[in-house]
Structure 1
Amino acid sequence: MNVSDATTWPASALDAAATAFAALTCEPAPLALDCTAFFSDAGLPQPVMPLPALRDWLLRHPRAYTARDEVWRELIRRARLDGPHWVVAAVGMALPALQQYAAQLCEGYDGDPADIDAEILTGFLTALRDRADLTKPAPYAGLCKAAWRAGRDLRLQRQEYLPVEDIEHVVPGPRTPRVPYGHPDLLVRRAVTLGILDPDDEQPYIDVRLGHRAIEPIAAANGVSVDALRMRLSRIDSRVAEALADGLLTGVASPETTVRLRQRAEQRGRLRAGRAAAARREAPRQHAAAAA
């Protein structure tokens, strides 16, 4: 089956996702998930399972919490790193829950049900791409919660507004502008200027800590492991917190403090360069050992 074989593309986003998932997982070569890394601990019947069979097994075993968590961590990783077909795969694996939410939220809804479907899918995809934290338990529950909230929020927008007879007499509340230097992006930029945060770490720090984006694609783009980037960001958190407590990011740093921070930044740069050089020297030996 090919997606192009469909004579009419479904109007509902969830129905369209079901069509795409069916095309991706049909015989003779359905997309499968390799569960070898966690097969023995999760209790799955096979180490490699076609996605429809895996979805059916998970539905029949609602208390298989370990298996569900491991499967969804792998699905989320693949959706973030291995291409659009794994995004379709993740949506298809969640379709039974997403379609159930849509049916519940559309009861008594006077708008277009396709709008609810689209919001549910958007909420799910946003969490899949950036919000789900793979270090926490139950990542699938977090994805479903985000999807349901998105659909619920759209439905709530359809509720009646409170009428106001004369808007000219409505007194607005105070709108005190924020202090410019309190904006997080500007604080991060000042941290880079002072040497508290290294220039190469500025964008990853903004993406993960301020943008709440998923860490896996960012680590891959920067050529480091997820654990290494997570540890690096944790150390930055400590330095930024110390600088905020000392007033360095919102006040004026003394020349002595500026020199000290720059020296520390240079030391970190030398250490990082040394580790990178050691890794380059080690890589040929690892390849040779693997070939042997």
Structure 2
Amino acid sequence: MSANTRLAAGQLAEHPGARPGAPLLDAIEYRFRLAAEGPQPQAVDGRHLGHGLPQRRIALPELSAILMHPSCGAAAQDAVWRFLVAQARTGAERWIVGAVGVALPGLRHRAHLLAKLSSGDLHAALVEAFLKALHKVDIDQPGIVNALLNAAFSGARAALREQEPAASGEGNFAPGSALLPAPYGHPDLVLARAVRLGVLTTADADLIGATYLEDVSVTAYAQRSGLPHWRVYKRRTAAVQRLVAAIRAGILSDPTADVIAEATLRTALEPTSGDR
């Protein structure tokens, strides 16, 4: 991790009113919301972004809430994130804080998932990885925010693994020996691999990730994407079948396949009348 990136992550939480010792994401949220107060809050112009967004200036905390609503379509989300990433890449600190602030709901969810796999300063690792992703994500592709959050999760997980002390156990009794890394990773990595190998489209991976891994119901996803419920469910069923078949055939031969297999095989066997 570069010194500049680490410094930027630390500066995000710096403010005299922030509660001392508060977790990093809480401190960032304090500063983020503070920037939205006053007569000229940090905002975007919905008239320029279009895609059904309110035709007025939208303060960033309100914008974050709008993006989380099921009625907000994927095109609107991408338009907003294309703008936010472009502004953050100028190096303007207020827009870097703004981008992290708008992403806070997703970052908190990733922090919850990460806490099940790692120990250490989860918040700092996530923010640092997210800042790096802001400069690398392809804003010409759909699903910008998912790509950012997935990269933040993967980067944080890798960084935290490097910080974990060597462990010894039954696998090897030699002094100072370390057990092999756990033979799994985050399911998002498997979805990304499936896209790279042509098993899934980007849209299929986003659908599986949202409805199986992020607790978004099919109904909410359909409303967000503007598609009929039955079409989304049919598309998801077909995508899961391809993914499961690829895992069973060894096409996705990768240790992380065990995790996604567990998630998809379990849910694929649920009654089709269910609506997750």
Matched, 1:21 2:32: yes
Q: 1:8 aligns with which of 10, 16, 19?
A: 19
Match of 1:126 in 2: 132
Q: 1:144 aligns with which of 149, 159, 174?
A: 149
Q: 1:19 to 1:46 in 2, by over 3 A?
A: same
Q: 1:165 to 1:145 in 2, by over 3 A?
A: same
Counterpart residue identity of residue 126, structure 1: K
Residue 61 of structure 1 and its aligned partner are, at CA, apart by: 2.9
Q: How do 1:152-231 and structure 2 match up within 5 A?
A: 152-157=157-162, 158=164, 160=167, 163=172, 165=174
Q: 1:49 aligns with which of 35, 45, 58?
A: 58
Match of 2:107 in 1: 98
Structure scoring higher RCO (CA < 8 A, sep ≥ 6) equals: 2
Counterpart residue identity of residue 30, structure 2: T
Structure 2 unaligned blocks of 5 or more: 1-13, 177-276
Q: 1:9 to 1:29 in 2, by over 3 A?
A: farther
Q: TM-score, normalised by structure 2?
A: 0.51
Counterpart residue identity of residue 125, structure 1: L
Structure 1 unaligned blocks of 5 or more: 168-292
Runs of 4+ residues over 3 Å off in structure 1: 7-11, 154-164
Asked if the contact 2:18–2:27 (Cα under 8 Å) also holds between the matched residues in 1, the reply is no
Q: 1:87 aligns with which of 96, 100, 106?
A: 96
Match of 2:205 in 1: none
Residue 70 of structure 1 and its aligned partner are, at CA, apart by: 0.2
Distance 1:8 1:123 in 2: 24
Residue 82 of structure 1 and its aligned partner are, at CA, apart by: 5.8
When the two chains are superposed, the root-mean-square deviation of aligned CA atoms in Å is 2.7
Q: TM-score, normalised by structure 1?
A: 0.49
Q: Decide which structure has the larger Cα Rg and report it.
A: 1
Counterpart residue identity of residue 141, structure 2: K
Q: 1:4 to 1:166 in 2, by over 3 A?
A: closer
Residue 93 of structure 1 and its aligned partner are, at CA, apart by: 0.2
Distance 2:61 2:106 in 1: 14
Distance 2:82 2:18 in 1: 35
Q: 1:79 to 1:107 in 2, by over 3 A?
A: same
Give the % identical residues: 30
